[in-house]
Amino acid sequence: MSTHINAAKKGQIANTVLLPGDPLRAKYIAENYLENAVCYSEIRNMLGYTGSYKGVPISVQGTGMGMPSMGIYSWELITEYGVENLIRIGTAGSFNEDIKIGDIVVAIAASTDSNYAHTFDLPGTYAPCVNYRLMAALYEASKASGIRFKAGNIVSCDTFYEVQEDWWKRWENMGVMAVEMETAALYMNAAFHGVNALAMMTISDHFVTGEKATTQEREREFTDMMELALETAIL
C-alpha cells in the first residue's frame, strides 16, 4: 500500500508519529534520536522514517508548510496507515514579549483565519483543540525532563506575508500567544477521525522584538522540543 504522496507500505508507520514541517528536521530526528531508523518515503522529498525511541516504535514524517499540506499528510496517516497519535513539532512566531525565541509553546486551542472547516459542513464555528490524553502525557514528560513549555491559544493562518500593518495585534489582544500555519487543520482532522493530536512549536520569530532564528537553528537546534515530543510519545 502506498499513496500519491507517501511510499510507505502497510505496517511501516508506527502508531505514533511526530510531524515536523521541515523534512530535514525529520531526517535530523531519525538520525540523532531513533534507533534502527528506516526511511519509508522520499516522495516529493517529504521524508518519513520509522525507528524506535527507548524501545517504543515511533515514526517521524515531514508535512510541509500550511494547512492544505498538513491536512493531506495527517489525513492519510490516519485513514491509510491507522496512526492514532499525531504530534506536531514546528515553529511559530511570538506575539508576546514574555514568550521568547527558543521557548516552546503548546496549542491548547488553534484559532484560524482559514476556511478549512468548510469540508466538515458544520452548522457553526468549530474550535480546534488539543487532545487531553496527549496534553496530560506532555505535562508528565515536562515534569520528568525539566523541559518547560507555555500553553494557550495560537492562531493558524493561511497567509505568511500579511499586507495589513500590525495585523497580529488584534490576535494578541485576544490572548493569542503565537502564529503558525498548520495546527488547526491537524486538530480538525484528528477530531473528525477520533484520534489524538497535539501541537508544540518552538518560537523562531518574534513580532514584538523583530528577532528571527537562523535556518540552521530551525532545522537542528530546537532539540528541547524534539526531546519533549519524544518523551511525550512514549508515555
CATH number of domain containing 175: 3.40.50.1580
| Number of independent structural domains in the chain | 1
In a domain, 3, yes or no: no
Looking at residue 215, its pLDDT comes to: 77
In a domain, 10, yes or no: no
Note down the domain range covering 149. 16-233
Cell of 223: 532539540
Rounded CA separation 137/140 (Å): 5
In a domain, 6, yes or no: no
Looking at residue 218, its pLDDT comes to: 73
Instruction: Count other C-beta atoms under 10 Å from residue 121's C-beta.
Output: 6
Looking at residue 219, its pLDDT comes to: 67
Of 98, 113, 121, 205, which residue is the catalytic one?
205
Looking at residue 153, its pLDDT comes to: 98
Query: Does 205 participate in catalysis according to the annotation?
Result: yes
In a domain, 45, yes or no: yes
Global pTM value: 0.96
In a domain, 161, yes or no: yes
At 110, give phi and psi (nearest 5°).
-130, 100
Rounded CA separation 187/199 (Å): 8
In a domain, 8, yes or no: no
Residue type, 207: F
Looking at residue 223, its pLDDT comes to: 94
Cell of 227: 526531546
List the pLDDT tens digit at each of the 235 positions of the chain.
Answer: 688 889 999 999 999 999 999 999 999 999 999 999 999 999 999 999 999 999 999 999 999 999 999 999 999 999 999 999 999 999 999 999 999 999 999 999 999 999 999 999 999 999 999 999 999 999 999 999 999 999 999 999 999 999 999 999 999 999 999 999 999 999 999 999 999 999 999 999 999 999 998 877 776 668 999 999 999 999 9
Task: Identify the residue whose cell numbers are 452548522.
Answer: 123
Looking at residue 217, its pLDDT comes to: 76
In a domain, 135, yes or no: yes
Looking at residue 62, its pLDDT comes to: 98
Looking at residue 94, its pLDDT comes to: 98
In a domain, 9, yes or no: no
